Each structure stands twice: as C-alpha cells, then as structure tokens.
Amino acid sequence: MSAQWRPFFVTLLALFLLVGGVSAATSSSEQEPNNTPAQANALYSATPMQGNIDPAGDVDYFSIRGNGTGWGVVAVLDASASAMGHDAVLTAFAPDGTTVRAQNSGRWEKGPLIAWLRDTGRDDHFLRVSEQGNDGRITPYTLRYYALALGEQPEQEPNNTLATANTSAITNIGAIGSATGVDCFAFSGRAQQKVMVALNADPEGDGGPADFILELRRRDGSVWASANYGGPGEDEFIDEHTLPADGVYAYCVRTQSGAGPNATYLAGIIRDGRFYLPSFTYDVQWLNPRPGRWAQVGDEMRYTVTLTYNDPLPFPGPFWFNVYYEPDCQDIVDDAHADFHRTGEFGWRFDEVTANMTVSKDVVMQAKTACTGSLDLGYVSNYYVTATRSRGPSYIIGSGYYLPLVLK
C-alpha cells in the first residue's frame, strides 16, 4: 500500500510536483527553420539557447511549457555580442501563437527583458526573438528563461532598511508611495548559490507610471548591484551574482521618478535557476518497533515527529506542520493536540514561523490491519504558496502469525 499525498489545498499540487522539474543549465542552439509557432524550438527553463537573427528578416520562435496560472516566466535576452543588439526585440505569445502577452525592445543591460509574466495555463507558450524592423542581423544572441512560481505577497511597511526588511516570499508585490520611499526584502542564501533579481514594473498591465531602480544588497546592507536601465513602466533585472558566504542578503526597490499609489511593482529573486523557498528538514523517530522493525495488529506505534526551519528569517503564517498516515493501516490514538484533521492527515497551525524554529510532537498511532506504509511529514505555507511532503520511515504491520521476511 503506497502513500497517497493529500494536499491541504488541492491547487498546490501542481506547484509541489514541479518543484524538481527544472532542467540542468546546459546550453543548446537553435535549429532552423523556427520561423513560426508550429516550427518553434523547445526551450527549457534555466537552459541558455544560442541563436542568430540571420539573414535580415529572420525570426526565431521558441516554445516553453506552461505550468498553470500560479506560475510565470522571467525571459532574458543577451544581444550584447552583436553590433545590432540594440535593436533586438523579445515577444511573448499566448498558446495560440498570435496573441502578444508582452513585448520588449528595451534593455536590462544586454538586451530586452520580460519579468514575471504570468502563464495563461498549461499549454505551451511561445517566445520570439526578432530584430526591430526586420532589416538587420543579430549575431549572436543568447536567450534564457526561467519557469517560476509567482506567489505574490503584499509588502508590509516599514521595510525601508535591511533591519526592517520583509522576508522575501517567492515574489513580493508593493508600491513606492513617495520619491524617498524604499522597499527591502531579505532572503537567506548559502555560499556559492547564484542569485538573480527581477522586477516587473507594471503588474496590472495598465501602463506603470514609475521608473524603478532595483538593488541587490550585501549582508552588511551595502549596494552590491543596481539596475536602472528601463524607463517608466519598464522591467529591471540584475543578472547572476554568486553569494560569497552563507547569510541574509536583500533586494530593494526605489524609484527614479513616478512614485505614488499607482507605482506598483512585483519583484523576486531567482536562486540557482529556481524560485525562492526557505529550507525545512524533517525527522520521524519510531520509538517502539518490535525487533526486526515491525508492528503487530493492535500495537500502539509511538512516534516523535520533528520539523526544523533552518533559516534566520521569520515569516508570517498561517503555516501548517502536517503528518500524513495510511488510514487503512493505522488509527490515531494521540494526535498531540492537532489543530486539524482530514482523512489520512492531521497537523498543527502556526501564526508565524520564527527564526530557526524547531517543533517536535509525540504522536501515537494504532496498528489496524496487516499492511505496509510510512508516516510522512510536510508543511503547507500560504506565504510561500507551496506545500511539501517528505517520506518518513516505512513500517510493516503483521497479523501476528508470522514475522515479515523483508525488512527495511
């Protein structure tokens, strides 16, 4: 009997399943002809694609997998090695191949950029590289995109300094209300992790009034990198920076002009090619197995279950620490005052996840029938709009007439 994951929120299932779905960062090269959506080359998240707009009039289409409306993309074109790179245009199309979702001919530094564009669904979407006017060559260019959960969380003021920074969610949404306003978001990282920062300057898609400045901050709060290449309503991007040491870093948003209640933005980091999540570990100790690690029908099975948050940044709840069990195998005897139950799961609710939090609970189950299974742990977090489940130790419940021969 295998464990079935029963997510607390069904809509989170896709997000969980896709967490591990990012390809390795090997590069590939375009294959002509790729001049229509039907001919599009497949482009994979975090895998650079080398190409050329050559001869003049060439256009290159790439298909990218849609992950659903809770997901989006950051797409980055580097045309800086081409003399005509200033005229590069990056266009994102809906799955019909013709509806333009976003288009940029501006500059993040090295070419056009589309930041945090929401997927319309699970069908393939398209990106197109072309030259402004279709009358010049771009040789070469490199196109990258990242498939990322969105999970916008609203900022909480005050957040103007590293000391008061909001803990970064997957992405944060906010507004710079005055010319001196600053919003900072802290994230934790490990030495050698690679971090990029992207800002969408018009999350409502109605023409953003503000000209944003995006900053990456070191652990001491000093500015490590600053991006202000686009004008009003244009996205900003800071390319890969390798973290020199473990610790808390931040990104901050301010304005060059156009601050006010409508100066809204959406910003977040890409860490090692993926969206940002904090680190949790789990432990399950089965305290009283029979010799040979099994239980007999009727036995009480005692466990200590532990969740550890390995991070110095607290973040707001609600947050649930969950135990997943096989309801056909086991009954609950003592749920350690769980805050909720549903078939095959129970758990505890927290209003906040504090720095380096560890939670241990002693639970007791009763072996119900001969079967095999495992006691699994996981969490559900609204702040990170995600859920995980980790396989716990497996068990065998025997009828008592024989000792199981296969033991783990």
Interacting residues toward Ca ion by CB under 5 A: 34-35, 51, 58, 60, 159-160, 183, 211-212, 228, 230
Please say which residue, 54 or 283, places its beta carbon nearer to Ca ion: 54
**In this complex, which beta carbon is closest to Ca ion, that of residue 211 or of residue 376?**
211
- Spatial distance between the Cα atoms of 364 and 377, rounded to a whole number of angstroms: 15
Rounded to the nearest 5 percent, the helix, strand and coil shares of the chain are 5, 50, 45
CB of 211 to Ca ion, least distance (A): 4
- Give dist(CA 236, CA 197) in Å, integer: 8
**Strand pairing of 394-398 and 371-374?**
antiparallel
**CB nearer to Ca ion: pick between 188 and 255:** 255
| Minimum distance of Ca ion from residue 140's CB (angstroms) | 10
Q: How far is the CB of 392 from Ca ion (least distance, A)?
A: 42
CA dist 108 and 406 (Å) reads: 59
84 or 370: whose CB is closer to Ca ion? 84
Q: How far is the CB of 59 from Ca ion (least distance, A)?
A: 6
Query: What is the signed CA dihedral for 118, 120, 122, 126, rounded to 10 degrees?
Result: -80
Beta-bridged to residue 362, according to DSSP, are 304
Cβ-based nearer residue to Ca ion, 257 or 288: 257
Residue 383 CA to its chain's centroid (Å): 12
Cα dihedral: 338, 341, 346, 351 (round 10): -60
CB of 196 to Ca ion, least distance (A): 17
To Ca ion, the closest distance from the beta carbon of 167 in angstroms equals 14
| Element at 251 (helix H, strand E) | strand 247-257
Q: 396 vs 7, 159, 297, CA distance in Å?
A: 24, 52, 10
Minimum separation from the CB atom of position 344 to Ca ion (A): 43
Nearer to Ca ion, 134 or 192 (CB): 134
- Please say which residue, 98 or 343, places its beta carbon nearer to Ca ion: 98
Separation between Cα atoms, residue 263 and residue 208, nearest integer Å: 7
